[in-house]
Amino acid sequence: MNTYLSRRGFIKKTAMAGTLIGFPTIIPSSALARSGKASPNSKVNVALIGCGDRSGYAANYKSYDKSVVVAVCDPNKSRRLMRKQQFGNCDDYNDFREVLARKDVDAVHIATPDHWHVPISLMAAQAGKDMYTEKPLGISIAHDKKAREIVDKYDRIFQYGAQQRSIEHVRRGIELVLNGHIGEVKETYVWAPRGASGGTLAESPVPEGFDYEMWLGPAPKAPFCNDRCLVQSPRNGIFHIYDYAIGFVAGWGAHPADMLQWWLDNSGLPNMPVSCEAKGVIPTEGLFNTLTHWDAQFIYPNGLKLRFMDDESAGKEKPHPGIGGDHGTLFVGSEGWVRVSRGGWKTSSNELREKARDPGPKTLPVSRDQIQNLVDCVLSREQPVDNLHSAVRSDILCHLIDISARTGRKIAWDPAKETITGDPQAEAMMHRELRPPWTL
pLDDT tens readout for residues 83-105: 999 999 899 999 999 999 999 99
pLDDT at 21: 40
pLDDT for 317-359, tens place per residue? 999 999 999 999 999 999 999 999 999 999 999 999 999 999 9
Integer Cα distance of 289 and 216 in angstroms: 17
Integer Cα distance of 388 and 151 in angstroms: 8
pLDDT for 389-418, tens place per residue? 999 999 999 999 999 999 999 999 999 999
Cβ of 37: how many Cβ atoms within 10 Å? 10
* Residues 6+ positions from 40 with CB-CB distance below 8 Å: none
Confidence tier at 20 by pLDDT (50, 70, 90): very low
Closest residue by Cα to residue 174 from 345, 369, 400, 383: 345
HSE-up of residue 433 (Cα within 13 Å, Cβ side): 6
Integer Cα distance of 120 and 116 in angstroms: 6
Phi, psi angle pair for 84, to nearest 5°: -60, -45
Task: Supply the CATH classification number for the domain 2-163.
Answer: 3.40.50.720
Q: Is 166 helix (H, G, I), strand (E, B) or coil?
A: helix
pLDDT at 28: 35
Confidence tier at 26 by pLDDT (50, 70, 90): very low
Residues in the chain: 440
Contact in structure between 405 and 294 (CB atoms under 8 Å): yes
pLDDT at 38: 47
Helix axis angle, 168-178 relative to 254-267, nearest 10°? Answer: 40
Paired with 305 in beta bridges are 187, 299
* Residues 6+ positions from 153 with CB-CB distance below 8 Å: 125
For β-strands 275-281 and 185-192, DSSP reports them as unpaired
Contact in structure between 20 and 6 (CB atoms under 8 Å): no
Question: For residue 286, what is the DSSP state?
Answer: B
pLDDT at 231: 76
Integer Cα distance of 398 and 403 in angstroms: 9
Contact in structure between 106 and 130 (CB atoms under 8 Å): yes
* Residues 6+ positions from 136 with CB-CB distance below 8 Å: 114, 117, 245, 246, 250, 251, 253, 254, 395, 398
Integer Cα distance of 209 and 206 in angstroms: 9
pLDDT for 153-174, tens place per residue? 999 999 999 999 999 999 999 9
Contact in structure between 215 and 238 (CB atoms under 8 Å): no
224-229 long-range contacts (CB < 8 A, ≥24 apart) are 225/200, 225/201, 225/287, 226/200, 227/199, 227/200, 227/287, 228/199, 228/287, 229/113
Mean pLDDT (the chain) is 91
* Residues 6+ positions from 30 with CB-CB distance below 8 Å: 103
Task: Supply the CATH classification number for the domain 165-196+247-372+387-428.
Answer: 3.30.360.10
pLDDT for 102-128, tens place per residue? 999 999 999 999 999 999 999 999 999
pLDDT at 15: 37
Domain ranges across the chain: 2-163, 165-196+247-372+387-428
Burial of 418 (0-12, 13-18, 19+ CB in 10 A): middle
